[in-house]
């Protein structure tokens, strides 16, 4: 069961921006940047852990560190809410059918608990070829998708015009060596009503900050 609090729109610190981008100009903001993951790759190999899950953990920790990234709009009641925490929806790719299975993994700040759960969820999904999307029962899950086939330069996620979906959508691609460092493209999409360029760019800064703490 997800816990949340309802935000008073009249006292919301982004009141003017929120009104404009939910009434006059409904749109989203998408930004792609390359993150240096050299040390995290080395750490993962040294500790015999999966880089993918380690990065997913750091992404979750970054997004859960600030209210702005845990917002959602309930169209049924027209409420702006902030969840106590948000969890990642992973996607497991099946080589034989070339399709994906959504995986709902709960985020825990405790690294070992999260790692164990995420790894078990992936293995369970590998045994299923179904597209088990159940967003109605997972209101505080955000999309976290790894584009494993490409180290891309740009990626855009388009939602229907006027669709007020506030949770982050994050993609990342393969890392590749650039000038002796391993650089990985990461794309963050958020609704402009609750995030501007600063807040979207800040996600990358938070990930890098959490990464530095993690590998010490």
Q: How wide is the angle at C-alpha 205 spanned by C-alphas 5 and 54, nearest 5°?
A: 80
User: CA 173, 176, 181 angle in degrees (round to 5)?
Assistant: 125
Tell me the average pLDDT across 92-121.
95
- Tell me the CB-side half-sphere exposure of residue 36, using CA atoms within 13 A: 11
To which CATH superfamily is domain 4-214 assigned? Chloramphenicol acetyltransferase-like domain (3.30.559.10)
* pLDDT, mean of residues 15-26: 95
pLDDT score at 215: 93
Check whether 2 has a pLDDT greater than 80.
Answer: no
Domain ranges, ordered by start, for the chain: 4-214
Supply the mean pLDDT for the chain: 94
pLDDT digits (tens, 9 = 90+) for 127-142: 887 887 888 889 999 9
Residue 62 vs residues 47, 66, 86, 158: alpha-carbon distances, Å:
22, 8, 11, 23
Say whether pLDDT at 106 is over 80. Answer: yes
Q: What are phi and psi of 49, to 5 degrees?
A: -120, 165
> Quick one: average pLDDT of 165-191?
97
- pLDDT above 80: residue 160: no
Q: Is the pLDDT of residue 4 over 80?
A: yes
| pLDDT tens sequence across 55-102 | 999 999 999 999 999 999 999 999 999 999 999 999 999 999 999 999
pLDDT of residue 161: 66
């Amino acid at each position: 069961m997800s816990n949340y609090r309802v935000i008073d729109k009249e006292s919301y610190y982004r009141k003017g921006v929120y009104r404009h981008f939910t009434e006059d100009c409904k749109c989203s903001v998408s930004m792609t940047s390359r993150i240096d993951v050299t040390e995290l790759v080395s750490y993962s190999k040294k500790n015999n852990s999966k880089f993918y899950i380690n990065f997913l953990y750091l992404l979750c920790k970054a997004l859960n560190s600030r209210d702005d990234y845990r917002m959602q709009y309930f169209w049924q009641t027209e409420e702006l809410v902030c969840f106590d925490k948000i969890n990642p929806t992973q996607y497991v790719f099946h080589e034989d059918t070339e399709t994906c299975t959504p995986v709902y993994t709960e985020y825990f700040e405790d690294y070992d608990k999260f790692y164990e759960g995420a790894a078990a969820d992936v293995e369970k999904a590998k045994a299923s070829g179904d597209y088990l999307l159940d967003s109605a029962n997972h209101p505080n899950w955000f999309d976290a998708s790894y584009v494993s086939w490409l180290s891309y330069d740009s990626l855009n996620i388009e939602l229907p015009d006027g669709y007020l979906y506030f949770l982050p959508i994050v993609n990342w691609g393969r890392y590749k060596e650039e000038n002796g460092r391993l650089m990985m493209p990461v794309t963050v999409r958020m609704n402009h009503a609750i995030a501007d360029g600063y807040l979207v760019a800040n996600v990358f800064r938070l990930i890098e900050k959490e990464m530095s703490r993690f590998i010490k």
